[in-house]
Amino acid sequence: DHFLASIRKLDGEINSFVTVTEDQARAGARAADALLATDNAPSLCGLPLGIKDLFCTNGVRTTASSNILRNFVPPYESTVTSNLLADGAIFLGKMNLDEFAMGSTNMTSAFGPVTNPWRRKNSDVKLVPGGSSGGSAAAVAAGLALGTTGTDTGGSIRQPAAFCGITGIKPTYGRCSRFGTIAFASSLDQAGPMARTMEDCAILLESMAGFDPKDSTSVDRPVPRYEDALERGVKGLKVGIPREYRPDTLPADIAALWDQGIAWLRDAGAEIVDVSLPHTKYGLPTYYIVALAEASSNLARYDGVRFGERVDAGTLDELYEATRHAGFGEEVRRRILMGTYVLSSGYYDAYYLRAQKVRTLIQRDFLNAFEKVDVLLTPTAPSAAFAHSERPTDPVQIYLNDIFTVPASMAGVPALSLPAGLDHDGLPLGLQLIGRYFEEETLFAAGRVME
C-alpha cells in the first residue's frame, strides 16, 4: 500500500514507471503475508521491487521503452526476474529506460523522459536521472521501490546511480544470466541491482546471480553470500588510483570527492597505489564501435513479422522499412546505421576488427593493474546530473558522459557506484570501485567503508 500510494502521488512527475502492476503486487503481498507467518519465508519474501523494462516478464508488457515493442507481452520470464520471484520478491512494475538501453539521460524513451527526484539548491529546474536505467535509479531515490533491477552495457547502472545518489553494481560479465533480457550489445550487457545501500545491493545480487544453461556466456561458479563480505573492511587492501581518470577538465568538486574517498579508504587501513591504465582514452571510441555493431545485429529481429509492432505496407521490403521507421527513435536509428556501417565489407577490418583488438589492450590494462592492486577507485561520471534542457544536441557530447564507466564494461570486470557526497549545487556525486573478475565481494567490502 505504501509503495503503490507513493507511486500514485509522485510518479506523475518523475515518470519512472512504464507499467505499474498493481494487481500482481497486491496478490504478491497477500501471498507473502501468508508465507511470513510460516517458517518457510524465502529470503526476499514480500520485498517490493521495480524491474527495468528490458527484462521479459511473463504476461506483463515489456517495451524496452520503444514504440516497436509498445504492446509486446512476453510469454516467458527472464532468468534474473525468475530468480527474484523464486526468492519471494514482489514486482511493483516495469521501469522506464532509454530506448533499448541506448543513452545516458533517459531522454530517448518512447514513454517520455524521467525526472531526477533531486534538485539543485534554490532551483526548480528539472534534471535528468542519467541512463539508461534512469527509471530504476529515480524510483529508488524517490522511495517508490526498495530496490530495482538495471542493466549495464557501458555504464547504465553506475551513471544513473551516481546521478540519483543511490548504489548500483554491474557484476562481472557472465555473473547474471542474460536469458530473457532484451539484447543491446551481447558481449557487454550485464544485469545488476540498484538500491539505497551496499547491503541491499549485496542481498539482491545474490538472488539475481547464478549459472544458467540458457545463456552460453553465463559462468558456472557458485554465488557467494555477498552479505558476508560487507564487514570485511579494507585493512591491507591495495587500492589503485588510475592516473588517466584525472583529466584536466575534471570538475573540482569531483576531484575533491575522489580525494575524500582515497582518504576514507586510507584511514580504514587500505594502501593507496598510483596505477596507470594506458589505453583508457581508447575506451569510448572502441565501445561506440563494438556496442553499435552488436546492436545493429541484435535489432535486426524487429522486422514487423515475428513480433512487435507492424506497419503494413506493399512489399515485404516496404513493410520492414515502414515498421522500423515508425518503431525506432532517432538514437536507435543512428546506432543501427553506424553499427551496420562498421560491420560492412570494406570497413569491417578498419573499424570493427581494430576495435576488438584495442578492446583486448584495454582488458590487459586491467589485468596488469590487478597484479599490483586489489581494487581501483575512480569517479563514476565526469559531471553531476544536468537539466533536461542542458542535454547536448551533439550525440558525441552525450557519449562523453560514459568515459569512466565504459572501460570496465569493455574488460568485463565488476564495478559499482556508491553515493559519496554532494557537489556545490547540492547534487549527489558517485565514486566507482572496479574489481577483479568475480571479486564483487571486495567491491562490497570497500564500498561499505565509504558509505
Interface contacts to ligand GLN, rule CB under 6 A: 101-104, 132, 152-156, 184, 291, 402
State which residue, 96 or 156, has the beta carbon closest to ligand GLN.
156
- Work out how close the CB of 154 gets to ligand GLN at its nearest, in angstroms, rounded to a whole number: 3
How many angstroms separate the Cα of 358 from the Cα of each of 56, 129, 186? 33, 31, 18
- Work out how close the CB of 95 gets to ligand GLN at its nearest, in angstroms, rounded to a whole number: 13
Residue showing the smallest CB distance to ligand GLN in the complex = 156
CB atoms within 10 A of CB 17: 23
- Work out how close the CB of 430 gets to ligand GLN at its nearest, in angstroms, rounded to a whole number: 15
Catalytic residue from among 52, 82, 170, 417: 52
Residue 238 falls in the annotated catalytic set: no
Catalytic residue from among 104, 133, 156, 383: 156
State which residue, 60 or 290, has the beta carbon closest to ligand GLN.
290
Determine phi and psi for 124, rounding to 5 degrees. Answer: -100, 5
State which residue, 179 or 320, has the beta carbon closest to ligand GLN.
179
d(CA 402, CA 379): 11
List Cβ<8 Å contacts ≥24 apart for 82-87. Answer: 82/180, 83/207, 83/208, 83/209, 83/210, 84/44, 84/49, 84/149, 84/204, 84/207, 84/208, 86/42, 87/42, 87/43, 87/44, 87/45, 87/207
Per the CB < 8 A criterion, the answer to whether 450 and 261 are in contact is: yes
State which residue, 184 or 320, has the beta carbon closest to ligand GLN.
184
C-alpha 117: how far from chain center: 18
Residue 389 falls in the annotated catalytic set: no
Which has the closest alpha carbon to 440: 252, 165, 222? 222
The 3-class SS string of 261-326 reads: HHHHHHHCCCEEEEECCCCHHHHHHHHHHHHHHHHHHHHHHCCCCCCCCCCCCCCHHHHHHHHHHH
State which residue, 65 or 79, has the beta carbon closest to ligand GLN.
65
- Work out how close the CB of 402 gets to ligand GLN at its nearest, in angstroms, rounded to a whole number: 5
- Work out how close the CB of 25 gets to ligand GLN at its nearest, in angstroms, rounded to a whole number: 26
User: Which helix (DSSP H) or strand (DSSP E) does residue 45 occupy?
Assistant: none
- Work out how close the CB of 105 gets to ligand GLN at its nearest, in angstroms, rounded to a whole number: 9
Which has the closest alpha carbon to 162: 254, 227, 286? 254
Determine phi and psi for 246, rounding to 5 degrees. Answer: -120, 70
DSSP SS3 for 171: coil
Residue 136 falls in the annotated catalytic set: no
Catalytic residue from among 16, 66, 104, 132: 132
State which residue, 132 or 323, has the beta carbon closest to ligand GLN.
132
| Catalytic residue annotation | 52, 132, 156
